């Protein structure tokens, strides 16, 4: 069934290995493009080599010695998110869902980034925790800590596999190598600069990658829009596609009970995406929080996500717009036959195919370097957070205690290699999805939604008991699984409420949003229930970990140097939210 059969019909992507290679994309590159790519990869490795000189301890390798300025960590914060999920996934969403994809940015990202900077970072940075799971160890108990550390490690390598698969797709299009060979080569590049330079090498590479990504995507948007008559021409042409006239309105068709919006009803969008998934990802995902923890002081740590929120507001112009341009220009993009087999290129190929179509050689090399930079940044973020959590929260805490710091530095490097190898395996899981954003939101509903619920209760309710945290996480994970598998049999998640036994028309994004909401509610209910029948920690043990229970050993706030007014976290956060509010009204 093609997307054109029903407006708002979101197809379930068949999980067949090799599904995405049924229709092949081959990029037309020449000597100039290869030269640009060679220069870029030389810079990447050189940065790793230079960063290696500053590594003397495990904290240097895993947390960059907590010495980086806010502008560096802020750019790295957003660059770490500019991986395959952002570039390929959001462009695929743009082609499949239209401007409704803006919800992933203006509801599903910026408010949570502001909350992280203003509310959560004082807890993280002030308590001097090295990882997010370590916060749970101090707030709850070892069982809660270990469960979260293991689940985060699993989520990190699964997400890394998404970026590794995207890297492999580009290499496959460049050279024509099989996907599995391309995956192996891609893993080698990422392994080189993380193992050499640790987190600081990854962060400085992410700063470079941010500017390379922008330099690669801006010309694509400008040339693409010019070819179809500008923004007005894009709107006119998209209305004649399967997305229809509502494709440039974000809230059309979101009424509860009779939705037609590609992302479902407003409850799923606001509460599932905007609250649970968004806040769960940005405030508890250590791949992001790690960048802020590497900042040189609390003010810099707070400003890290706030600085990152500004490019996040405008990145849709570089992702959603190309997706819509591809929908207009690429025949049968994302369409399937009645058996679920592709009749054209998958949505994930929206940006690569536009690069091949519009960009001359040389410019194509820069754009490809930007794509590769994005995927490497995304994978590096997940692998560097994986090695930190595994080394500190699993190996040092439960398996081998009390060794010298140099031992854990070595373990961190070895675990980096292990994480890359596991990521190679998980890349093949990602290869079964025509739109990797569907897959990633599924992962977040399992791993991030329960954790966020536990964090919120833990930070604002000092009565929450150690075992309540553990059983809450279990209940949230089970709730996500129950909704994911049970939702396939609920007619409400199908267009018009008409159940499709083949599940081909089911709105998987909507189901992911409701799955996250179910996980959150289950976690909170069980956490409260278990708290009622178990013993809380003494208040003295909660100092600095719960709102309203200050740490007596923390510096006096009155003695901490105040930043200049223009660098105030509250001003940065408020301005960011104001811009989002104005833009939301424009695209309502």
pTM: predicted TM-score of the whole model, two decimal places: 0.81
Q: Check if the beta carbon of residue 173 is closer than 8 Å to that of residue 27.
A: yes
The mean per-residue pLDDT over the stretch 543-562 comes to: 71
Please choose, from the candidates 439, 450, 440, 438, the residue with its C-alpha nearest in 3D space to the C-alpha of residue 480. 450
pLDDT digits (tens, 9 = 90+) for 372-395: 776 776 777 778 778 888 888 888
Determine the pLDDT at residue 53.
57
Q: What is the pLDDT of residue 320?
A: 93
Q: What is the pLDDT of residue 196?
A: 60
Q: What is the pLDDT of residue 65?
A: 47
In this structure, are residues 44 and 193 in contact, taking their beta carbons and an 8 Å threshold? Answer: yes
The Cα–Cα gap between 300 and 561 comes to 12
Domain spans in the chain, listed from the N-terminal domain onward: 14-434+562-586
pLDDT at 48: 66
**DSSP secondary structure string for all residues of 421-470:** HHHHHHHHHHTT-SSHHHHHHHHHHHHHHHHHHHHHHHHH-TT--HHHHH
Residue 23, pLDDT above cutoff 50 = no
Residues 156, 157, 163: CA angle, nearest 5 degrees: 95
Under 8 Å between Cβ of 130 and 62: yes
User: Considering the domain 14-434+562-586, what is its CATH architecture?
Assistant: Up-down Bundle (1.20)
180 band by pLDDT with thresholds 50, 70 and 90: confident
Give me the DSSP letters along 382-428: HHHHHHHHIIIIIIIIIIS-S--HHHHHHHHHHHHHHHHHHHHHHHH
First to last CA, the chain: 30
Residue 75: both structure tokens together: 């750019």
Q: What sign does the dihedral 279-284-288-294 (CA atoms) show?
A: positive
Higher per-residue pLDDT: 225 or 438: 225
| pLDDT beyond 80 at 541 | yes
Task: Mark out the alpha helices in 90-178 (DSSP H runs).
Answer: 90-97, 103-106, 110-115, 121-126, 132-139, 142-175
| Residue 471: both structure tokens together | 């059983």
For 229-257, the DSSP string reads THHHHHHHHHTTSTT-GGGG-SSTT--TT
Q: What average pLDDT does this structure show over 116-145? A: 82
Q: Is the pLDDT of residue 59 over 60?
A: no
Q: pLDDT category, 3, cuts 50, 70, 90? A: very low
Phi, psi of 295 (to 5 degrees): -70, 160
Percent of the chain with pLDDT over 70: 84
Q: What's the distance, CA 50 to chain centroid?
A: 28
Q: Cα torsion for 12, 440, 17, 167, to the nearest 10°?
A: 130
- For the chain, counts of helices (H) and of strands (E): 24, 0
Q: What percent of the chain stands above pLDDT 90?
A: 26
| Assigned token pair, 55 | 């590594």
Residue reference for tokens 């067949």: 16
Q: Which helix H or strand E contains 482, and what residues bound it?
A: helix 466-486
Tell me the DSSP string of 267-328. HIIIIIIIIIIHHHHHHH-HHHHHHHHTBSSHHHHHHHHHHHHHHHHHTHHHHHHHHHHHHH
Please state, rounded to an integer, the average pLDDT across all residues of the chain. 81
Integer angstrom CA distances of residue 568 from 114, 192, 298 = 12, 38, 12
CA nearest neighbour of 586 among 90, 231, 309, 96: 231
> How far, CA to CA in Å, does 534 sit from each of 211, 464, 525?
52, 9, 15
pLDDT beyond 60 at 6: no
Task: Give tens-digit pLDDT for 261-313.
Answer: 889 999 999 999 999 989 988 888 776 777 777 777 788 888 899 999 999 99
Q: Cα–Cα distance between 564 and 392 in angstroms, integer?
A: 36
pLDDT tens by residue, 426-477? 887 777 665 666 777 777 778 888 989 998 999 899 999 999 999 999 999 9
Contacts of 543 (CB under 8 A, 6+ apart): 549, 550, 551, 552, 553
Q: What share of the chain is helix, strand, coil (3-state, %, to 5)?
A: 75, 0, 25
Beta bridge partners of 549: 546
Q: Give 491: exposed, middle or buried? Use CB within 10 Å, 0-12, 13-18, 19+.
A: exposed
* C-alpha to C-alpha distance for 513 and 504, rounded to whole angstroms: 18
Q: How many CB atoms lie within 10 A of CB 15?
A: 12
Task: Check whether 211 has a pLDDT greater than 60.
Answer: yes
- Measured CA to CA in angstroms, residue 481 lies from 160, 361, 474 at distances of 21, 47, 11
């Amino acid at each position: 069934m093609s997307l054109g059969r029903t407006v708002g019909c979101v197809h379930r992507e068949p999980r067949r290995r090799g599904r995405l290679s049924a229709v092949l994309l081959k990029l037309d590159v020449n000597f100039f493009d290869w030269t640009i790519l060679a220069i870029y990869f030389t810079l990447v490795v050189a940065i790793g080599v230079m960063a290696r000189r500053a590594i003397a301890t495990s904290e240097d390798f895993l947390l960059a010695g907590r010495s980086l300025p806010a502008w560096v960590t802020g750019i790295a914060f957003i660059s770490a998110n500019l991986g395959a999920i952002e570039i390929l996934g959001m462009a695929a969403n743009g082609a499949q869902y239209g401007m409704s994809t803006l919800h992933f940015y203006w509801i599903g990202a910026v408010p949570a980034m502001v909350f992280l900077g203003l509310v959560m970072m004082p807890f993280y940075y002030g308590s001097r925790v090295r990882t997010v799971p370590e916060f749970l160890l101090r707030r709850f108990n070892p069982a809660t800590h270990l469960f979260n550390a293991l689940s985060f490690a699993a989520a990190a390598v699964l997400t890394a596999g998404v970026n590794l698969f995207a890297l492999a797709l580009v290499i496959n299009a460049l050279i024509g190598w099989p996907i599995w060979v391309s995956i192996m080569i891609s893993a080698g590049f990422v392994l080189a600069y993380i193992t050499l330079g640790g987190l600081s090498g990854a962060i400085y590479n992410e700063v470079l990658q941010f500017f390379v990504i922008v330099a690669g995507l801006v010309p694509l948007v400008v040339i693409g829009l010019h070819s179809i008559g500008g923004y007005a021409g894009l709107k006119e042409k998209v209305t004649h596609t399967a997305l229809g006239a509502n494709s440039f309105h974000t809230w059309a068709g979101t009424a509860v009970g009779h939705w037609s919006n590609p992302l479902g009803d407003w409850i799923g969008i606001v509460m599932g995406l905007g609250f649970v998934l968004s806040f769960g990802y940005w405030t508890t995902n250590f791949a992001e929080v790690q960048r802020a923890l590497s900042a040189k002081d609390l003010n810099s740590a707070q400003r890290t996500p706030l600085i990152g929120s500004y490019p996040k507001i405008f990145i849709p112009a570089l992702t959603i717009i190309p997706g819509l341009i591809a929908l207009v220009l690429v025949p049968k993009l994302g369409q399937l036959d009645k058996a679920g087999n592709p009749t054209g290129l998958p949505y994930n190929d929206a940006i690569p195919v536009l690069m091949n179509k519009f960009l001359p050689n040389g410019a194509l090399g820069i754009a490809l370097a930007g794509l590769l930079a994005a995927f490497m940044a995304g994978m590096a973020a997940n692998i560097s957070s994986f090695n930190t959590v595994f080394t500190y929260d699993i190996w040092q805490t439960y398996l081998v205690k009390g060794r010298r710091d140099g031992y854990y530095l070595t373990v961190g490097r070895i675990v980096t290699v292990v994480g890359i190898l596991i990521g190679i395996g998980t890349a093949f899981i990602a290869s079964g999805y025509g739109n990797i954003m569907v897959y990633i939101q599924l992962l977040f509903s399992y791993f991030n939604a329960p954790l966020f619920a536990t964090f919120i209760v833990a930070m604002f309710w000092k009565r929450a008991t150690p075992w309540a945290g553990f059983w809450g996480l279990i209940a949230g994970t089970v709730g996500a699984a129950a909704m994911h598998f049970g939702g396939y049999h609920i007619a409400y998640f199908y267009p018009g409420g008409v159940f499709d036994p083949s599940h081909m028309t089911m709105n998987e994004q909507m189901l992911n949003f409701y799955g996250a909401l179910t996980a959150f509610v289950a976690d909170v209910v069980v956490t409260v229930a278990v708290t009622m029948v178990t013993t809380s920690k003494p208040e003295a043990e909660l100092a600095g970990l719960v709102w309203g229970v200050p740490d007596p050993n923390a510096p006096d706030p009155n003695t901490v140097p105040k930043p200049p007014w223009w660098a105030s976290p509250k001003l940065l956060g408020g301005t960011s939210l104001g811009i989002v509010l104005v833009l939301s009204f424009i695209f309502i």
